[in-house]
Amino acid sequence: MLERYRTLAAMIQLADFTTADLAELSGVQLTSIRTVLKREGDLLERVETVPRGSRSGRGGRYVRYRLAPGALESIAEELRVLEQTGRLNRQARALATPAPDDEVPSGLLAAEHVLIDQLPSADEAEKRELLELASVSIASATESWDLVELGLLGRAGQLHARAALLLHDLAVAELDAPDPGDPATQALFRDLRQRHRLVRRFARRVPEFDLMNVIDERVEIIRCLLGAPESASMVVVTPDEGSVPPEVDAAAKELGYEHVDLSHFADVKRVWKLMPSVCVLALPSDRPSRVGPTVERFLTVKPPLAGGLVVSSRFNRTINQVTAGLAVRYMATDGVPSADLNGVFSDMAPLVDPSAD
């Protein structure tokens, strides 16, 4: 099936061709090329016959073909079917023998080496060559991203694939230096930042992953280059100038959070411009009368409360009733281990697949 796919793909890339032309472009043996052409005879027209000359060292002639009218659409449709069949076959094989969680394709490690170790010291021309090399390595290791989309890589493989592609795209953005005032540039950075958060979330499940600091630094370089606002993975909001509850602070430190109190409305509006992945509204358990106005004011600043959570140290019936009426999630943090609370915060971050364009 692969040889047929490569032969057909070569046919639609050439205006006219001989069997030798197809073999050279596709890497398929001549005998297999001839088999495909024989089966697809109704899609071909003979243009001419040309002497073999010195190409084979023997006598005889080559037949030169071109696609018949309407053949291009027919072949393109067959290629789509073959692509889908190939994807399904790979998925079936992988489901039968799942990739180990700690297995990372060597092509991804090679791409990371190029992007982290070789790229920074290269000149502009060399950087573009290295970026192309890294892109080819990533595509080869992930079978043009199919292995990622179909979930056929293990946990570490998925992480390294996303990390390598993010490092590549960050390097491209730095090299191209797009206009910070262009709305498309800001959209680009929002996409890069969202993918950065996704990689960070994957990294929490792979303790041996040691590239997060490098990725964080590259994201900050691009943020400054593009004039983008500082990023906040998490925002903790309190009703006044009181401090963040200790259990929330302990659990949120790993994500890196910014604290804002609702008494400074301008600060709250500024924080929402950071588009945090996670927002936690921390309320005092002993002042339930303030819950309704506080939550409602919170919602007027950022409606709806997407990726949001209301917490209090101890369970409070009034808070529970108010948040239930506003369709906002509520939990009491008293007695919840810091690691478990951190997991709650982490799971709130939206998973956005960068390949879903």
Cβ neighbours of residue 46 under 8 Å, at least 6 residues apart?
63, 64, 65
Nearest to 235 by CA among 263, 270, 266: 270
56: three-class secondary structure by DSSP: coil
Note the residue count of the chain.
357
Classify residue 356 by its DSSP letter.
Answer: -
Nearest to 65 by CA among 22, 94, 116: 22
Per-residue model confidence (pLDDT) at position 127: 93
Angle at 174 between CA 148 and CA 132, to 5 degrees: 50
pLDDT (tens digit per residue) in 187-226: 788 788 878 877 887 887 888 999 998 998 898 888 888 7
Per-residue model confidence (pLDDT) at position 352: 34
Per-residue model confidence (pLDDT) at position 164: 96
Nearest to 75 by CA among 35, 39, 30: 39
Label residue 255 exposed, middle or buried (CB < 10 Å: 0-12, 13-18, 19+).
buried
The Cα-based distances of 176 to 23, 118, 173 in angstroms read: 38, 18, 5
Per-residue model confidence (pLDDT) at position 226: 76
Per-residue model confidence (pLDDT) at position 316: 79
Label residue 70 exposed, middle or buried (CB < 10 Å: 0-12, 13-18, 19+).
exposed
Per-residue model confidence (pLDDT) at position 172: 94
Per-residue model confidence (pLDDT) at position 195: 85
300: three-class secondary structure by DSSP: helix
Per-residue model confidence (pLDDT) at position 56: 42
Per-residue model confidence (pLDDT) at position 115: 95
Rounded Cα distance between 357 and 350, Å, is 16
Q: Are 314 and 332 in contact (CB under 8 A)?
A: yes
Label residue 246 exposed, middle or buried (CB < 10 Å: 0-12, 13-18, 19+).
exposed
Amino acid found at 151: G
Token duo for residue 329: 């999630």
Give pLDDT < 50 ranges for the chain.
54-59, 275, 302-307, 350-357
